[in-house]
């Protein structure tokens, strides 16, 4: 589960994005790696592009030192661009994406979209 800590899912450039994530109903010892990223991606007619603004990967000791019963909190300052945009041929969207890799090869993915800027969406 991912939860944005801002009051609204719309942020302005240079704002601080704060979010927390946790996993439930999964044995802590079965987690082999966790990736937390803040990404923008394009959707629409063209081939999808992906840009990683922030990326954090937990494995090994750093993973075992983490207590997954409490939510993990991350703060990321947001960039100037690209702003969220909904055009005719392309759409630019932002999201927080968490991936949990389990020892049996299972991959759990969760993502939480948010808006950067107010170009095509009024606050």
Q: Which residues bind other proteins (CB under 8 A)?
A: 12-16, 18, 35-37, 39-40, 42, 44-60, 62, 74-77, 79-83, 85, 87-90, 92, 97, 99, 117, 119-120
Tokens of 114: 């948010």
Nearer of residues 83 and 102 to other proteins, judged by Cβ:
83
In whole angstroms, how close is the CB of 66 to other proteins at the nearest point? 11
Range list of β-strands (E), the chain: 2-4, 10-11, 16-21, 31-44, 50-59, 72-77, 85-86, 90-102, 107-116
Classify 86 as helix, strand or coil: strand
Nearer of residues 30 and 49 to other proteins, judged by Cβ:
49
In whole angstroms, how close is the CB of 48 to other proteins at the nearest point? 8
């Amino acid at each position: 589960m991912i939860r944005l800590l801002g009051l609204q899912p719309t942020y302005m450039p240079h704002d601080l994005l704060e979010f927390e994530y946790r996993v439930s109903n999964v044995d802590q010892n079965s987690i082999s790696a966790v990736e937390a990223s803040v990404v923008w991606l394009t959707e629409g007619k063209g081939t999808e592009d992906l840009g990683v603004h922030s990326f954090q990967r937990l494995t090994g000791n750093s993973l075992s030192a983490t207590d997954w019963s409490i939510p993990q909190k991350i703060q990321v300052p947001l960039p100037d661009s690209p702003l969220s945009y909904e055009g005719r041929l392309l759409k630019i969207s932002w999201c927080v994406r968490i991936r949990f890799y389990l020892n049996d090869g299972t991959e759990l993915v969760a993502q939480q979209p948010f808006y950067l800027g107010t170009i095509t969406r009024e606050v």
